[in-house]
Amino acid sequence: MVGIRSYGGYIPHYRMNRMVIFGSMGWINPANMLNAQGEKAVANFDEDSLTMAVAAAVDCVDGFDLSELGGVYFASTTAPYKERLNANLVAGALGTEETIRTADFAGGLKAGTTALLAAIDAVGAGNANDVVVAASDSRLGKMGSAQELMFGDGGAAFLVGDQDVIAEFKGAYSTGHDFVDHFRGAETKFDRQWEDRWIRDMGFGKFIPEAVAGLCEKCGVKASDFDKVIYPCYYGRARKNLNKKMGFEPDKVIDNLQAIVGDTGVAQSLVMLSKALQESKAGDKLLVISYGSGCDALYFEVTENIKNLAPRIGINGYLARKAELDSYTKYLAWRRMIPLETGLRGEEDHWTRWSLVWRKDKMILGMQGSRCKKCGTQQFPAQRVCVRPDCGALDEMELVYLSGMGGKIFTYTSDMLAASINPPALYGTVDINGGGRFVFDYTDCVLDDLAVGKPVDFSFRIKFYDKERDITNYFWKAVPVAGGVE
Amino acid sequence: MAEGIRDKVVILGMGCTKFGEQWEANSEDLAIESFNECLKDAKIEKKDVQAAWLGSHIDEVNIGKGGNFLGLTLHLPLIPITRTENFCASGTEAFRGAAYGVASGAYDIALALGVEKLKDTGYGGLPDSPAFGQMATMVMPNATAPGMFAQIASAYSAEHGVSMERIKEAMAHVSWKSHQNGLMNPRAHLRKAVTIEQIMGSPIIAYPLGLFDCCGVSDGSAAAIVTTPEIARKIKPNEDLVKVKALQISVSSGEEQMYTDWDGAGMLTTKMASKKAYEEAGITNPREEISMMEVHDCFSITELATMEDLGISAPGKATDDILDGFFDLDGQLPCQTDGGLKCFGHPIGASGLRMIYEMYSQLLRRWPEERLVKDPHIALTHNLGGVPNQNVCSIAIMGLD
Amino acid sequence: MRHVHQRLDEEIRSIGGYYKVLEEELLDFNGRKVLYVLKGAHVETSCCGEGGVGYISVPGYVSSWKSSTNEDGLAVSEVERVRGKEVQRQLRGILKKKYPYIDVIDFE
């Protein structure tokens, strides 16, 4: 039986009330008032589609042995690299073996479900045991655009396999249409779209029913057989009409999170699927439809195994952890939408030495440390000579990945002088659970959240961005655990 | 068994420029000025200098690498010159090189000169260079020195159960005292008295360090000429002589950064270097035997923790000593008698030699009465370079013959 | 607690930079008057960076207003610190509304 073995989700910590955007930019496009309801999720200054995909994937594979993993697939239309396989960074952050199949999926918004189908096909054909699929987007609309209000940031991830599946894959139906409602050229940062009424009536209005009809015919089911129906479409009125047209009862149609997250692009229907799985019971029949340059429709049935899957943080967990972003200009700075004065110091060059990065790849991406076989001391970064003063053994190390260990705050500070796009910079020393200590940035928090002894989790983040060469560098930061006991 | 440096070397002469923003001076001007004062004080000629050590931390802007700068600037006659770079201990390292050169018998007379010209970057602070190598850029926080040193405060508070309010009060006194001492010193970078209220009302730079808890950057140079006691006695038959009693360096082993035994409330290197220095100098009770000190007060919390690391204050008791005035100019063990890094200034490669210069001048009673420490015999200087979990500490002890 | 009123708009300088007291205001809060002080700092020559901050410090509830002068001729008030995380949070909220551009609010 092929299907989903586990799911994970990620919604960034910061949410922005859409009126904050409208309050700054409404003057140029007052009609946006109608789009300026609710809030949208905003990736922190040190997040992008790649880090959000990693966060969702980490959530997804928590507790699973990855030594037999067959592949890592990453889907996004806002990946940091055009050339340099982004999926390899996701795999590196998960600490997988390098002898696996890794692939990026991009181009249209249905690429997320296409990645999921590719994983299902690979497992089904016996070419891979388990495959991680992670999808995430952080799309941008121009200042004052409707897209700026409608788009949100987030990601979802799934572990596809044929053992202990919690949702069995029953079938799929796909279409590909060169229907250009939204597009970005290869050199373009901001989304561009055609007329809303055309997208609504000729896009969502035609292609979603087409996909549903195709799947039902192929799998011999009726629209009314499904317990949970997932499809993107942020036109509220059109959604109601589509439900009626296709015969879906409104209470079976999963909320698109438009009011609290926004349109997460490639991840949109997968974020909804992840959330739906978090709320599903055995026997539920799920219909998942993606939209964008065509559609994929996928049919899953939840199995008894869902009771055995340890709880995930998931979309629901991350939705509950939130802080308000009340500054529109901060949002612009975080998304690199405006030129900023960072001072002469900020103009100093920080080279990325790729041959050095290659040798330290597992330390940077996977937070790989070592454990001394002689004295048992865990240490980071991996050492050849044991750091324990009364041991000092040479080359007696086994390598260990430490990103999942969590830690405790040993020291902390809030630094007004450190060059940061989000001052004050918060950082300090963290004692890694099980041994080892290192100085980390703290993120998704304020000074008041920090205290000596407080537990932290590690989160994969952008370390620094080299704008001269368009290089995004990543490393792990420490996030204080919400409600963590000191 | 090594017998150490004690009493083998005499400081024959010293020189020190005014520290500050010297917009009109090149590194060359600064080096020439401190060297000339030093040469005059030593009562020798340039040709008598047989070897030199040049202390400088930042090479990128003015000095460049190697020892050439000093040879080319002073036109020293093809003698051996070695550039020492060991963070804020660079100046003391130059002094150590010269002292060891003389003590070994390799040279009769040697020069140590530290110089740093920092104000040519176009921005405040030190030049942005990868001090810990490229990997630090890839994985470490984009931390500043105040941010790294500030963490001592949170660890110190947790370790000793001393409230942050009490720590801040003691730090304000540390800063107030340096401003009082610096006010009287014509060569100090900043000569300005401040009140405790003004210090306490300053903004937090890196929690809990405020504006007045942090040192600045300055341009400046300091120099020393050292020789053997026998030669010194010949050159200065009727003068007091200052002898080197101990020179120690301790460098982090990585246990502070990576192993979890360190309490983070002080510096392991300072503890180690001072223990060895006391042994070398024959000091058994530093709190009673040391007459005065110049310690590395890059941040007020560093000075606070250093008093315990040096074994002057009992663990957890530094705030008591500080607030009791123990380290004030009229206290039992005056500290930062020239204003310290916070007022005299901090041209990195020159700082260690500047501290020795102040102690040397105090021992020889060269300052006006109001600035003099009462009846000093033994003086200690201390540098701490790098950051608390990865640093270099140097200790020098000197005393009257 | 003594609060010394510094001269407005005058540089108070350390080796690494300076700050100025820009405004001193009284705020009605919890049936009492709370003194807060708006300050700005520029750290332009500290050893390890350059930066600045606009910040508000809250000396506390005023128990006697400018009731004496110190040796420098500056007015001195008696204040009582604002303690308690919840009360500080409330006050921070009020000040944040008034000064949306100020991120640092300190309770001394």
∠ CA B179-B265-A400, rounded to 5°? 135
Q: Which residues of A touch B137 (CB under 8 A)?
A: 350, 464
Compute the distance between CA of residue A131 and CA of residue A161 in angstroms, rounded to an integer: 7
Which candidate, A66, A50, A53, places its Cα nearest to that of A5? Answer: A66
Across the interface, of A326, A343, A423, the residue whose CB is closest to C50 is A343
The β-bridge partners of B209 are B206
- Cβ <8 Å between A353 and B134: yes
Are residues B382 and B236 located together in one domain of the fold? no
Whether C43 sits inside 8 A of A417 (CB atoms) is: yes
Residues B63 and B200 in one domain: no
Residue B47 carries which DSSP code?
G
Residue B110: which CATH number?
3.40.47.10
Closest by Cβ to C45, choosing from B194, B197, B216: B216
B19 vs C contacts (CB less than 8 Å): none
Q: With an 8 Å Cβ cutoff, are A419 and C49 in contact?
A: yes
Closest CA–CA distance from residue A476 to any residue of chain B (Å): 8
Chain A contact for B125 (CB, 8 A cutoff): yes
The SS3 of residue C103 is coil
The chains found to touch C (3+ Cβ pairs under 8 angstroms) are: A, B
Q: Are both B178 and B270 inside the same structural domain?
A: yes
**CA–CA min distance C62, chain B (Å):** 17
Task: State whether B306 and B163 are in the same domain.
Answer: yes
Task: Please judge whether B138 and A417 are an interchain contact, meaning their C-beta atoms are less than 8 angstroms apart.
Answer: no
- Hey, are the CB atoms on C48 and B145 less than 8 Å from each other? yes
Tell whether B277 and B316 lie within a shared domain. Answer: yes
Top residue of C45, C89, C99, C103 to mutate, by most chain A CBs within 10 Å, is C103
Q: Would you state the structure tokens that stand for residue A334, as one six-digit string?
A: 């975080």
Q: How far apart are CA B373 and CA B359, in angstroms?
A: 10
* Residue A486, pLDDT score: 42
CATH of domain A3-334: 3.40.47.10
Question: A344: how many CB neighbours lie within 10 A of its CB?
Answer: 13
Judge whether A155 and A10 are in contact, CB under 8 Å.
yes
Find, in chain A, the residue whose alpha carbon is nearest to that of C85: A448
The shortest C-alpha distance from B384 to chain C (Å) reads: 14
- How near does any CA of chain A get to the CA of C17, in Å? 12
Domain spans of chain A? 3-334, 405-486
Q: pLDDT tens for residues A323-340?
A: 999 999 999 999 999 998
Same domain, B87 and B193: no
Which of A341, A345, A414, A417 best probes binding to C when mutated, by most C CB atoms within 10 angstroms?
A: A417
CA dihedral C82, C86, C87, C91 (to 10 degrees): 110
Distance of residue C31 Cα from the nearest chain B Cα, in angstroms = 26
Contact indicator for A479, A445 with CB cutoff of 8 Å: yes
| Banded pLDDT at C48 (limits 50, 70, 90) | low
In a shared domain, residues B30 and B72: yes
A117 and A296 Cβ atoms separated by less than 8 Å: yes
Q: Does the domain spanning A405-486 belong to CATH 3.40.50?
A: no
Interface contact flag, A423 C51, Cβ < 8 Å: yes
Domain extent at residue C18: 2-106
ipTM, two decimals: 0.92
- Minimal-distance CA residue of chain B relative to A427: B141
Distance from CA of B26 to the nearest CA of A (A): 22
Residues B165 and B28 in one domain: no
- Least CA distance to B165: which residue of chain C? C108
Computed from CA positions of residues A324, A326, A330, A332, in that sequence, does the dihedral angle turn out positive or negative?
Answer: positive
pLDDT of amino acid B82: 98
Residue B238, Cα to own-chain centre: how many angstroms? 30
Which of B125, B204, B343 comes nearest C49 by C-beta? B125
Task: Give the gap in angstroms from C-alpha A456 to the nearest C-alpha of chain B.
Answer: 16
Cβ neighbours of A421 (radius 10 Å): 17
Residues B260 and B323 in one domain: yes
Range of B207's domain?
Answer: 145-215+247-345+364-400
Identify the H or E element spanning B393. strand B390-400
Residues of B whose CB is below 8 A from C50 = 123-125
Asked if C19 has any chain B CB less than 8 Å from its own CB, the reply is yes
**Each residue's pLDDT expressed in tens, for chain B with a length of 401 residues:** 789 999 999 999 999 999 999 999 999 999 999 999 999 999 999 999 999 999 999 987 889 999 999 999 999 999 999 999 999 999 999 999 999 999 999 999 999 999 999 888 877 777 777 788 889 889 999 888 889 999 999 999 999 999 999 999 999 999 999 999 999 999 999 999 999 999 999 988 888 999 999 988 899 999 999 999 999 999 999 999 999 999 999 999 999 999 999 999 999 999 999 999 999 999 999 999 999 999 999 999 999 999 999 999 999 999 999 999 999 999 999 999 999 999 999 999 999 999 999 999 999 999 999 999 999 999 999 999 999 999 999 999 999 98
The three-state (H, E, C) secondary structure of chain A, written as one string: CCEEEEEEEECCCEEEEHHHHHHHHHHHCHHHHHHCCCEEEECCCCCCHHHHHHHHHHHHHCCCCCCCEEEEEEECCCCCCCCCCHHHHHHHHHCCCCCCEEEEECCCCCHHHHHHHHHHHHHHCCCCCEEEEEEEECCCCCCCCHHHHHECCEEEEEEEECCCCCEEEEEEEEEECCCCCEECCCCCCCCEECCHHHHHHHHHHHHHHHHHHHHHHHHCCCHHHCCEEECCCCCHHHHHHHHHHHCCCHHHECCCCCCCCCECHHHHHHHHHHHHHHCCCCCCEEEEECCCCEEEEEEEEECHHHHCCCCCCHHHHHHHCCEECCCHHHHHHHCCCCCCCCHHHHCCCCCCCHHHHHHCHHHHHHCEEEEECCCCCEECCCCCECCCCCCCCECCEEEEECCCCCEEECCCEEECCCCCCCCCEEEEEEEECCCCEEEEEECCCCHHHCCCCCEEEEEEEEEEEECCCCEEEEEEEEEECCCCCC
End-to-end CA distance of chain C: 11
Residue A24 has pLDDT above 70, yes or no: yes
Which is higher by pLDDT, B146 or A290?
A290
- Judge if B174 and B266 occupy the same domain: yes
Which of B121, B140, B258 is facing A437, going by the closest CB pair?
B258
Distance of residue B324 Cα from the nearest chain A Cα, in angstroms: 28
Residues B74 and B171 in one domain: no
| Residue C45: band (very low, low, confident or very high) from pLDDT cuts 50, 70, 90 | confident
The amino acid at residue A62 is: D
Longest CA–CA span in chain B (Å) reads 59
Cα–Cα dist B394/B57, whole Å? 15
Distances (CA, A) of B330 to A350, B320, C67: 49, 16, 33
Return left, alpha or beta for A38; rule: phi > 0 is left, psi -120 to 50 is alpha, else beta: left
Closest residue, chain A, to B155 (C-alpha): A411
The pLDDT of residue A195: 95
Exposed e or buried b per residue across B184-194, where buried means at least 16 C-beta atoms within 10 angstroms of its C-beta: bbebbbbbeeb
Predicted confidence at residue A484, as pLDDT, reads 52
Omega before A423 cis (within 30°)? no
Tokens in use for B305? Answer: 């923790």
The helix/strand/coil state of B381 is strand
What is the C-alpha to C-alpha distance for residues A450 and A431, in angstroms, rounded to an integer? 14
The answer to whether A416 contacts C53, with C-beta atoms less than 8 Å apart, is yes
Q: DSSP string covering C40-73, please? A: EEEEEEETTEEEEEEEEEEEEEEEEEEEEE-TTS
Contact list in A for residue B138 (CB cut-off 8 A) is 352, 356-357, 360, 364, 463, 473, 475
Is the per-residue pLDDT at C102 higher than 90?
no
Q: Which candidate, B301, B276, B257, places its Cα nearest to that of B393?
A: B276
CB B154 within 8 A of CB A450: no
Distance between CA atoms of residues A383 and A369, nearest Å: 7
Selection from B87, B80, B25 nearest residue B56 by Cα: B87
Q: In percent, how much of chain A has pLDDT > 90? A: 93
**Interface of chain B toward chain C, CB-CB under 8 angstroms:** 21, 123-126, 144-146, 175, 189-190, 192, 194-195, 197-198, 200-205, 211-212, 214-218, 298, 342-343, 345-346
- CA-nearest of A33, A72, A37 to A160 is A72
Same domain (yes/no): B164, B117: no
Number of residues written out for chain C: 108
Q: Beta strand B51-55 with B81-84: parallel, antiparallel or unpaired?
A: parallel
Q: Count up the domains in chain B and report the number.
A: 2
Q: How far apart are CA A421 and CA A466, in angstroms?
A: 13
| Cβ neighbours for B79, distance < 8 A, ≥ 6 positions apart | B49, B50, B51, B52, B71
